[in-house]
Chain A
């Protein structure tokens, strides 16, 4: 019993929050302001508690596994949930159905946690569905906006399709290996055609979730249509969770097919980097822009993943930690501005520095981190991904990746240019009031962006986890 309580602690914490939220919802009468603060405190507690009393082991046979690396990954997700509740507070506060939003978010996180810890294909599939379906509802949260419903429709349809592909892959894999347990699959993989087909199908499902080109088509529309709170959660937590599980799949379960997936990864990485970067160049809407930038970021993550377990795994986890800070800072600023002025175009940011220096600096830092400019942490994150990728000695591939840094720099600088450089015929946005919790959230994000790289022990710590 004690094992059960401690091993499943992260999941149990989330379940507890879910129940509390249901009660709050039933109780009525609490003002949104107070409710939001309550939820923020709960999520903070959840994050802090995540560091204590952890235990490694497995439960229910091999169904559920917990290792120190998994716990760290879950902590990153907890952190991102807390930060989302902070930086998107302005929008959330005005929402009619505040508790529901968090109900959906927390249940999606519960799905991610179970997915990270899953020990066989069955529980993996179930938890994957648990993590995806609430997200579709979150995307639809702007009930009165057509675009929001359209985005949700797109997401749920393509999500269902990818689940179908995944299930097909799983059944083929089961057919050819006779097991659904992750620990038993590798020994039974011999690389025959059926298994390769099964692998490709499962790979496609991941590619869809991570919006790897050519499975990325839903991304920009969903990001644009969804309320920013949902978009930021989707772009950070969902991407992160799937990247973690993806690595587990490649490095452990499908290790015997290493040659096949390396070739596929190289090809898809190049496509993802190029398409993501080239499409980001000409975007006008900041959310679409961030969508394509996040596709390009996934390209870099794949570059790191391709390097293999010893360097790839820590560099990806480290990068995602940094990505949480930088992306949420960028989305946070976009959210505040869009909430108070309704403006979402990059041109609207012209001269922002004159009227809103705080927001400008936060956004600039975030963009520099996304672009990989020192001294922000993004520099270290990107560099370690590239280092991991280079460990296979495939230098043409790495050079292409490195040159993509230059393309991405161009479009990140586009926003920086809009913010800082003067144009004569433009009146900048009015001074925007930033509420305390948003300000606090943005400061945490900027602090993370500045310090994660300089506190080098974080990387060494991740490397030491298993």
Chain B
């Protein structure tokens, strides 16, 4: 499996988009491009499991290296482990769904899809890069398209949100950059993750660099209290923009925290684990309670994302193998779930022209498909068994419980308690939206989902159910990679 295909296909799609003539060409081209991406991601998964089954146990598979800036030792070094494969699968599904739900975009269609595919290019590049410089390059690629997304196609106070998002993410990048340069000069001018993992980094250096990198990626993944761009950004962005933002972009941060901060700086991670746990426990509870007060569906999902992503960081902060596996599972699960949630909100908004929960009601009668999808995503979000959310959160909590001191137990219990709150706000919001009588007469003539919207929802639901009903494959995919990360932590807990 040639990993550069993952970069090549989106690049070709983007270039081909430049010469398209009309809207339908643009849409179809992007759709075909995103289908090829799904195909590639699946092929990658099967090739990966086949290699592993054949006994290839090297840390990264399908590695390839090209010299880039020879004198600075910057190389295009690609390679994947289980975590990257899972993230690539997630990206391909969300991008395809994003392309499908944006089918009706009238304004600057070509530019819209151009940016969307460019974003996916950045995400793939990020997940396969093993060179910190190139990884940073791809991370940065994904900032500005989001800014334009929100600013051009967004709604509400879009200028404010777009600025806030771009500036906060860039500040995060600045922190990451300084951290990366610190690693580069401490370890003999090298950006390669695999080389850096061999180097011995003195503890005092780790204590300085770890917070820089973790906070930097923390901005991307909405680490409390750096999460403030999330609600504004999500609610102002167009549907596909929110899907990408919550589904993939926040995962770039989580992946970075894991792969760069925790993996390369294990002593820094153990040193600061307490702070991470406190912050993520606050995020989980705070996010959940704030969500209860929201009336706008997009804000509900945005704040609940803060809470759910808190679980990811909680899992990482627990530093046990099971918890880390769970936290990657949560990333995948939350990516699919939140993308579907935003897609459904977008479909509802397109028809009813409102996102306020109290103005809706009885939507099940006029649009059964969309309402069912909303139900599924709600149940997944509150962690009902059978859906991916349950699998991920239980794995994290089990992993957390393995730390048997009072502090970790308290954090675990607090996090687990939030699930109750989640149930409250999800059931209330969805109940008011889809159940009961139709409150607004003008809703009676609304039509159910079109083919493209149905397909988008089905793609994401398929992902959620595949993880929810048979989580084994995902666990097996992630476990060896998580083992490598935790084996460096020297804590001795499996």
Interface residues of A (CB under 8 A from B): 314, 368, 373-375, 379-380, 383-384, 386-387, 390-391, 393, 395, 398-399, 402-403, 405-406, 409-410, 413, 416-417, 420-422, 456, 459-460, 463-464
- B152 & A399 in contact (Cβ 8 Å cutoff): no
Partner of B143, one of A373, A417, A421, A422: A373
Which of A374, A422, A460 is close to B69, meaning CB atoms less than 8 Å apart? A460
Q: Which B residue sits closest to A453, measured CB to CB?
A: B137
- With A373-B144, A387-B72, A460-B71 given, is the CB distance from A405 to B182 under 8 Å? no
Contact of B181 among A368, A398, A405 (CB under 8 A): A398
B68 touches A456 (CB 8 A): yes
- Contact partner, A456, options B69, B140, B167, B182, Cβ 8 Å: B69
Closest to B144 in A: A373
Q: Which residues of B contact A375 (CB under 8 A)?
A: 137, 141
What B residues does A459 contact at CB under 8 A?
A: 69, 71-72
**Which of B169-177, B238-246, B485-493 contacts its partner?**
B169-177
The residues of B that contact A399 with a CB separation of less than 8 Å are: 174-175, 178, 212
Which B residues between 168 and 194 are near A, CB-CB below 8 angstroms?
A: 170-171, 174-175, 177-178, 181-182, 184-185
Shortest distance in angstroms between A93's beta carbon and chain B's nearest beta carbon?
A: 31
Q: Is the CB of B140 within 8 A of A379?
A: yes
* List of B residues within 8 angstroms of A379 by Cβ: 137, 140
Closest B residue to A387 by beta carbon equals B181
Instruction: Tell me the smallest distance from the CB of B117 to a CB of chain A, in Å.
Output: 13
Contact of A410 (CB < 8 Å), options: B72, B141, B163: B163
Contacting residues, chain B, for A386 (C-beta < 8 A):
177, 181
| B424 at interface by CB-CB < 8 Å | no
Q: Does B456 contact A (CB under 8 A)?
A: no
Residue of A nearest to B138 (CB): A374
Taking a contact as CB atoms under 8 Å apart, the answer to whether B174 and A406 are in contact is yes
State in angstroms the CA–CA spacing of A405 and B172 once bound together: 11
What distance in Å separates the Cβ of A333 from its nearest Cβ neighbour in chain B? 18
Please judge, given known A-B contacts A395-B182, A413-B166, A456-B69, whether A402 and B174 are in contact too, CB under 8 Å: yes
- B140→A384 contact, CB < 8 A: no
With beta carbons under 8 angstroms apart, the residue of A403, A421, A460, A463 that contacts B151 is A421
Across-interface contacts of B140 in A (CB, < 8 A): 373-374, 379
Q: Mark B120-163, 1 if CB is under 8 A from A, else 0.
A: 00000000000001000110110110011001100000110011
At the interface, yes or no: B208 with Cβ under 8 Å from chain A?
yes
Tell me the complex Cα distance, A349–B174, Å: 29
Mask of B322-349 contacts with A, CB within 8 angstroms, 1/0: 0000000000000000000000000000
CA distance A406 to B181 in the complex (A): 17
Q: Are B208 and A460 in contact (CB under 8 A)?
A: no
Minimal Cβ-Cβ distance residue in A for B209: A395
Q: In the bound complex, do residue A390 and residue B166 qualify as a contact, i.e. CB atoms below 8 Å apart?
A: no
Could you say which of B67, B70, B175, B208 has the most chain A C-beta atoms within 10 Å of its C-beta? Answer: B70
State the Cβ distance, B11 to closest chain A Cβ, in Å: 10
**Contact, CB under 8 Å: A374 / B137:** yes
Q: Chain B's nearest CB lies how many Å from the CB of A214?
A: 26
Bound together, the chains give a CA A405 to CA B167 distance in angstroms of: 10
Give bound CA distance, A410 to B160, whole Å: 12
Alpha-carbon distance A391/B182, docked complex (angstroms): 9
A393 contact set on B, CB distance < 8 A: 185
Say whether A413 contacts B185, CB under 8 Å. Answer: no
- Asked if B143 and A460 make an inter-chain contact with CB atoms under 8 angstroms apart, the answer reads no
B-side interface mostly: helix
User: What CA separation (Å) do A409 and B140 show in the bound complex?
Assistant: 12
For B181, the chain A residues whose CB sits under 8 A away are 386-387, 390, 395, 398
Query: In the complex, A386→B174 CA distance in Å?
Result: 11
In this complex, the member of B137, B143, B144 whose beta carbon has the largest number of chain A beta carbons within 10 angstroms is B144
Determine which residue in A314, A406, A420, A463 has the highest number of CB atoms from chain B within 10 A of its CB, and name it: A406
Q: Interface code B58-87, partner A: CB below 8 Å = 1, 0 otherwise? A: 000000000111111010000000000000
Docked complex Cα distance between A391 and B147 (Å): 32
**For the complex, what is the distance from the CA of A219 to the CA of B174, rounded to whole Å?**
28
Asked if A398 and B71 make an inter-chain contact with CB atoms under 8 angstroms apart, the answer reads no
> B208 to A387, Cβ gap below 8 A?
no
A373-B140, A413-B163 given; A383·B147 CB < 8 A: no
A-B CB contact pairs (8 Å), 26 listed = A373-B140, A374-B137, A374-B141, A375-B137, A379-B137, A379-B140, A383-B133, A387-B72, A390-B178, A390-B181, A390-B185, A393-B185, A395-B181, A402-B178, A405-B174, A413-B163, A417-B163, A420-B151, A420-B152, A421-B151, A421-B152, A456-B68, A456-B69, A456-B70, A459-B72, A460-B70
A386-B177, A387-B181, A395-B178 given; A463·B71 CB < 8 A: yes
Q: A414's closest neighbor in chain B, by CB?
A: B163
Contacts of A410 on B, CB cut-off 8 Å? Answer: 163, 167
Bound-complex Cα distance A221 to B268 (A): 50
User: CB < 8 Å: which of A368, A387, A405 contacts B144?
Assistant: A368
Known pairs A413-B147, A417-B162, A422-B152. 4 more at Cβ < 8 A?
A374-B137, A387-B181, A390-B184, A456-B69
Interface centre among B141, B148, B158, B177 (most CB of A within 10 A): B177
Which B residue's beta carbon lies closest to that of A372? Answer: B140
Q: Report the bound CA distance from A463 to B159 in whole Å.
A: 42
Tell me, in angstroms, the Cα distance from A395 to B184 when the chains sit together: 12
- With A383-B177, A387-B184 in contact, do A421 and B159 touch (Cβ < 8 Å)? yes
A384 contacts B72, CB within 8 Å? yes
B71 A409 Cβ-Cβ under 8 A: no
* Residues in A whose Cβ lies below 8 Å from that of B138: 374
Please give, as numbers and ranges, the residues of chain B lying within 8 Å of A374 by CB-CB distance: 137-138, 140-141
Provide the bound-state CA to CA distance between A382 and B147, in Å.
21
Min CB–CB distance A316 → chain B (angstroms): 14
Contacts of A460 in B (CB 8 A): 69-71
Chain A residues, CB < 8 A from B174: 399, 402-403, 405-406
Chain B residue numbers with a CB within 8 Å of A405 are: 170, 174
Q: Please give me the residue from chain B that is nearest to A462 by CB atom.
A: B71
- Is the beta-carbon distance between A406 and B178 smaller than 8 angstroms? no
Chain B residues with CB under 8 Å of A406's CB are 167, 170-171, 174
Across the interface, which residues of A come within 8 angstroms of B144, CB to CB? 368, 373
Question: Given the complex, which residues of B lie within 8 Å of A373, measured CB to CB?
Answer: 140, 143-144
If A374-B137, A374-B141, A460-B70 touch, does A409 touch B166 (CB 8 Å cutoff)?
yes
What is the distance, in angstroms, from A61's C-beta to the closest C-beta of chain B? Answer: 34
Chain A residue nearest to B107 (CB atoms) is A422
Residue of B nearest to A389 (CB): B181
Most-contacted residue by chain B among A380, A413, A420 (CB, 10 A): A413
Distance in Å from the Cβ of A113 to the closest Cβ of chain B?
27
**Distance in Å: Cβ of B72 to nearest Cβ of chain A:** 7
B154 → A minimal CB distance (Å): 9
Cβ of B177: which chain A residues have Cβ within 8 Å of it?
383, 386, 402
Most buried by B among A403, A409, A464: A409
Residue interface bits B234-267, CB-to-A below 8 A is 1, else 0: 0000000000000000000000000000000000
Which residues in B have their C-beta under 8 angstroms from that of A387?
A: 72, 181, 184
* Chain B neighbourhood of A395, CB < 8 A: 178, 181-182, 208
Interface centre among B71, B140, B151, B158 (most CB of A within 10 A): B71
Contacts of B148 in A (CB 8 A): 416, 420
Chain A residues near B212 (CB-CB < 8 A):
399
A304–B362 alpha-carbon span in the complex (Å): 63
Contacts of B171 in A (CB 8 A): 403, 406
User: In the docked arrangement, what's the CA distance between A373 and B212, Å?
Assistant: 20
Interface centre among B170, B175, B185 (most CB of A within 10 A): B170
Residues of B within 8 A of A416 (CB): 148
Chain A residues, Cβ within 8 Å of B133 = 383
> CA–CA, A386 to B136, complex, Å?
14
Chain B residues with CB under 8 A of A368: 144
Q: How far is the CB of B459 from chain A (nearest CB, A)?
A: 29
Report Cα–Cα, A111/B197, bound state, in Å.
52
Nearest B residue to A459 via CB reads: B69
Give the shortest distance, in Å, between B206 (CB) and chain A (any CB).
14
CB <8 Å contact, B170 and A409: yes
The CA-CA distance from A204 to B164 in the complex, in Å, is: 39
